[in-house]
Chains A and B, each alone.
Chain A
Amino acid sequence: DAGVTQSPTHLIKTRGQQVTLRCSPKSGHDTVSWYQQALGQGPQFIFQYYEEEERQRGNFPDRFSGHQFPNYSSELNVNALLLGDSALYLCASSLFWQKWSSYNEQFFGPGTRLTVL
């Protein structure tokens, strides 16, 4: 049973470029959340997708957008990259909490390390 997978592992971009990161959830999961982990800090919630819709969003600008596909996999897109976007981007999958009426554990992937030069 594969866990959460992310691609690519590492990515180097320059300021102003656009980037797409990909995530495949753990088998059986239907919800994908994205987090940004800057160096030396804890992960910060970006947004969450369920049923191909953005369900929640953290305090991130519109340059950060996402998508969820019918197979539950997800993409994170960042436009007009800034130096401050350099971070580890984590994907976490889970079952949608309302469906099960209790908190459902999130399982994290290994992350994509994005460096913006």
Chain B
Amino acid sequence: AQSVSQHNHHVILSEAASLELGCNYSYGGTVNLFWYVQYPGQHLQLLLKYFSGDPLVKGIKGFEAEFIKSKFSFNLRKPSVQWSDTAEYFCAAAVTGNNNAGNMLTFGGGTRLMVKP
């Protein structure tokens, strides 16, 4: 069964610090990978996605993620965080190439990021 794990449950950073949130997935086939963000009181929003091609993908608000197939990882990075990045971040995966799979998303447990001003 497909699963997604996020290593850090809570991360606290000061503004301008660099961010890296870990994500690992377990699935042997082809997967699409995503990072979603949930700002306080708001709905889930897509930050970035990886389908194929360049393993380094850039998303909104200066975020990027690197797909490393050999490590089954899709870590999220941002060179310099801002107070407004305080939110919960979710890594997710969806299988492809399977008529029964559709676009069901499997989410990790989430990482709550707090950025201190």
Chain A residues near B (Cβ < 8 Å)? 4, 31, 33, 35, 40-45, 48, 50, 55-56, 58, 90, 92, 94, 96-98, 102-106, 108-111
Contacts and interface: CB of A to CB of B under 8 A. Distances in A.
Interface string B41-67: 011111001010000000000000000
B25 interface: no
A103 B101 CA distance: 11
B108 A48 contact: no
Interface centre among A41, A43, A58, A110 (most CB of B within 10 A): A43
Contacts of B49: 105
Interface of B: 4, 6, 32, 36, 42-46, 49, 51, 90, 92, 94, 96, 99-110
A96 to B, nearest CB: 7
A105 B46 contact: yes
A110 B100 CA distance: 27
29 contacts: A33-B103, A33-B104, A40-B109, A40-B110, A42-B92, A42-B107, A42-B109, A43-B44, A43-B90, A43-B105, A43-B107, A45-B104, A45-B106, A48-B103, A48-B104, A56-B102, A56-B104, A58-B104, A90-B44, A98-B99, A98-B102, A103-B51, A103-B96, A103-B103, A104-B103, A106-B103, A108-B43, A108-B45, A110-B43
A43 B103 CA distance: 14
B43 A48 contact: no
Contacts of B32: 103
A42 B107 CA distance: 6
Contacts of A102: 51, 96
A55 B103 CA distance: 10
Contacts, number: 67
A94 B107 CA distance: 17
Nearest to B90: A42
Contacts of A33: 103-105
A76 to B, nearest CB: 16
A18 B99 CA distance: 33
A33 B102 CA distance: 11
Contacts of A94: 103
